[in-house]
Amino acid sequence: MDIPLRTVRPNIVQSIRAFRVQDLQEAATQLGQHFLYANLGNAQSKQEVLDMIAAQYTFPAHFGKNFDALYDCMTDLVHKSGPQPGFIVVLEQIPANAKFDKEAREQLLDIFRDAADYWADRKIPFRCFYSFL
């Protein structure tokens, strides 16, 4: 049996190019890991991106809807809920426009890079795949 994602480091944020969402979801199932998916294709601004991530990842109602709160939800909140098997995270169609410019996109991806580092320190796989609109 082939081991899903065996060629992908356990804690990384990378372009989804070589993968299909369906394959990533199946890999998460085979590995017994959480699969988090957000399609951001309809978002135009930072607030809309955060709203869509919160809704699609089913964050709690008290989510602060800023980048710090996003990091907290991806790390501390989940860590406190008990042992974690690992994560395969997809951010599909991150907007690229004047209201969500290159700096905002990099800030968003930095949150997920920091989350990958957080989970790496705990020896828990956290792979994030993204695409731009």
Cα–Cα nearest to 40, from 108, 122, 111: 108
CATH of the domain at 121: 3.30.370.10
Q: 53-95, pLDDT tens digit by residue?
A: 999 999 988 888 899 999 999 998 777 788 899 999 999 999 9
Q: Is residue 52 part of a domain?
A: yes
Residue numbers of the domain that contains 128: 11-132
pTM for the structure as a whole: 0.93
Q: What's the distance, Cα to Cα, between the start and end of the chain in Å?
A: 35
Reported residue count of the chain is 133
Q: Is residue 2 part of a domain?
A: no
Q: Is residue 6 part of a domain?
A: no
Q: Is residue 19 part of a domain?
A: yes
In this predicted structure, the answer to whether residue 27 has a pLDDT above a threshold of 70 is yes
